[in-house]
Structure 1
Amino acid sequence: MINLPVDYIGFVFAKSRRNVSPKQAAQLIQVLRQWDTGKTPAAVGVLVNPDLNELEELLQEAALDVVQLHGQESPQFCREVKERFPVSVFKAVSIESDRSEADRLSSLDAYAGCIDGLLLDTYDPVYGGGSGKTFAWDLIPPYQRWASQQGIPLFIAGGLDSDNVSHLIGQYAPYGVDVSSGVESEPGVKDINKVTAFVERVKGK
């Protein structure tokens, strides 16, 4: 993937078949810094319900730019991460279509000023997200309005691939998209051809 025009690259530290160690991430981040695209991709750490000590140890080894939180992290925790560490904080929200819009959105207001980005993902009962399945995209606009009001970017994840991402972007124009299983040849193994095709669709090339 070296030199592909991507803006972020994720390193999964949560329980997953895509899990990497802090040491592995540190080595890969060194490679990122050598990319020759005019802009170095931001290194994003994906975690679920970490504590501050765990984050401190991780960040001492791996120079992450963003911490992406996929658990039940509170607004106060997100604020503490922002204040304590030199990273941006993205909060993932799992979309459950059987909940009312008011119920889904009511908990977001407490995160105002506590996060630097919002990511929508499909709800998964085991991992919270990362299911490789799409959610009902017609649920996106209220979250998009909320993110816009806060002045933060909105990212969309969940079952994206090179076949459907153009439709998502054309209809909803999120700030960014997050992909994993949609560019894999088998679970946990990225396919460079699929990655390239996905990036070309996103960048409109």
Structure 2
Amino acid sequence: MTTVKICGLKDSEMVKSILHLPIDYIGLMFAKSKRQVTPAQASDMIRVIKDYREAGNSAPLTVGVLVNPTREELTAIIAEAPIDILQLHGQETPEECRWIRETFPGVKLWKVVSVSQANQGDAAGSSESARQSIAAVLNPYIGIVDALLLDTFDPVYGGGSGKTFSWETIPPYREWCRHAGIPLLVAGGLQPDNVGELLGAYAPDGVDVSSGVETDGVKDRNKIISFVERVKHHV
């Protein structure tokens, strides 16, 4: 079944209100963003989730989102906010990713590809040229990252723009993920009204939403419920 990540949670009360839903991942923004949280805030939300799990319930994993973090920054964040997964949204090299895996062996690693107008054209070209272009960039990450996430490029934050990219670029990335043996997640402008179209046409392994389940910049519980239902009940 398609996994669901709700990203950009900022307070423990909202986390508590959605833990009963079949959400697989909750994203915590440590990178500069309208939804940025401190390690202390993240720690509070992580404790709520762990308490829920320790009470015998199924609970989502936590995903910390960072852009080109320094080793010192990363070490400090993970020490205070013990996330399950690290989502890297910048230009982190395979060598940097390998250091993270070796230093924090209990933390899974997701790499984000920000799809801009430029690389949309590359991936939407002939299937063979798209495969070669993607493989050249991503093959060095095989065996290092645990998932790939496609998001719309944002010139300020890198991602989290609330805009979709051309979904026609997805197939060669999906093919690469099958080759690498890792799941493909898709973000960027998703909302309850369009996620079914994405799932029906391109069948990613997971979807990631943030602004699409907000009202006036604040997480909307009803929109989250609607989004999760659309994904989990999609046939």
What TM-score comes out, normalization by structure 2 length?
A: 0.83
1:30-179 alignment, distance < 5 Å:
30-35=47-52, 38-85=57-104, 86-99=106-119, 100-101=122-123, 102=130, 103-179=133-209
Determine whether 1:11 maps to 2:11: no
Determine whether 1:198 maps to 2:227: yes
Cα deviations by residue, 1:132-187 (Å, 9 ceiling, x for unpaired): 00001011000001111111110000000000001111111111100000000122
Q: Secondary structure at the match of 2:230?
A: helix
Letter in 1 for 2:51: Q
The CA deviation at 1:106 is 2.6
Unaligned runs of 5+ in 2: 1-17, 124-129
The CA deviation at 1:105 is 4.7
Letter in 1 for 2:118: D
Q: Distance in 1 between matches of 2:51 and 2:198?
A: 31
Q: Secondary structure at the match of 1:178?
A: strand
Q: Distance in 1 between matches of 2:89 and 2:75?
A: 18
Q: Secondary structure at the match of 1:141?
A: helix
Kept in 2: contact 1:7–1:42 (CA 8 A): yes
The CA deviation at 1:110 is 1.6
The CA deviation at 1:192 is 0.3
Cα deviations by residue, 1:62-105 (Å, 9 ceiling, x for unpaired): 11000000011111111111111020000010112333234455
What TM-score comes out, normalization by structure 1 length?
A: 0.95
Is 147-156 or 34-43 further displaced after alignment?
34-43
Kept in 2: contact 1:76–1:114 (CA 8 A): no
Kept in 1: contact 2:151–2:159 (CA 8 A): yes
Over aligned residue pairs, what C-alpha RMSD do you find?
Answer: 1.5
Structure 1 residue aligned with 2:39? 22
Is 6-15 or 53-62 further displaced after alignment?
53-62
Letter in 1 for 2:112: A
Kept in 2: contact 1:8–1:41 (CA 8 A): yes
Which structure's residues are more often helix, by fraction?
2
Is 106-115 or 173-182 further displaced after alignment?
106-115
Letter in 2 for 1:31: V
Which has the bigger relative contact order, CA under 8 A and spacing at least 6?
Answer: 2
The CA deviation at 1:4 is 1.2
Kept in 2: contact 1:3–1:35 (CA 8 A): no
